[in-house]
Amino acid sequence: MKRLSLFAISSLLCFNSYAQTISIKNKSALKREGELVRIDWNELLKRNPKIDTSNLQVVNQATFAQVPFQLEKVGSNEVKFLLLQVSVQPKSTLKVILQDEKSTPLNAKTYGRYVPERKDDFAWENDKIAFRMYGKALEGSNENAYGIDVWVKRTSELVINKRYKVDNYHKDHGDGLDYYSVGQTLGAGDMAPYLADSVWYLGNYKSYKILDNGPLRTTFQLNYDEASANNQRIEVQKLVSIDAGSQMNRIENSYKFKEAGLLPVAVGLATRNEKDKQILQDDKGVIGYWEPVHGEDGITGVGAVLISPIKVVKKHNQLLAVTEVKANEPVVYYNGAAWNKAGEITDSQQWFDYLKNFKQKLQQPLVVKVN
70-97 confidence digits (pLDDT tens):
999 999 999 999 999 999 999 999 999 9
Given pLDDT bands bounded at 50, 70 and 90, which one contains residue 18?
low
167-194 confidence digits (pLDDT tens):
899 999 999 999 999 999 999 999 999 9
- Mean pLDDT (the chain) is 94
> Average pLDDT, stretch 9-20?
53
Q: Is the pLDDT assigned to residue 265 strictly greater than 70?
A: yes
Q: Is the pLDDT assigned to residue 196 strictly greater than 70?
A: yes
Q: Is the pLDDT assigned to residue 282 strictly greater than 90?
A: yes
**Is-contact 331 265, C-beta < 8 A?**
yes
Enumerate domains of the chain plus CATH numbers: 6-103 (2.60.40.1180), 110-363 (2.70.98)
Q: Considering the chain, what percentage of its residues have pLDDT values greater than 90?
A: 89
> Average pLDDT, stretch 214-226?
98
Q: Is the pLDDT assigned to residue 357 strictly greater than 80?
A: yes
Around Cβ 335, how many Cβ atoms within 10 Å? 29
**Is-contact 301 345, C-beta < 8 A?**
yes
> Average pLDDT, stretch 325-331?
96
**pLDDT of res. 273:** 85
DSSP states along 70-115: EEE-TTSSS--EEEEEEEE-TTEEEEEEEESSPPPP----EEEEEE
Can you give the C-alpha Rg of the chain in angstroms? 22
- CA-CA distance, 89 to 31, in Å (whole number)? 5
Closest CA to 304 of 253, 232, 340, 368: 253
Q: Is the pLDDT assigned to residue 285 strictly greater than 50?
A: yes
Least confident segment among 62-71, 208-217, 271-280 = 271-280
Q: Is the pLDDT assigned to residue 14 strictly greater than 70?
A: no
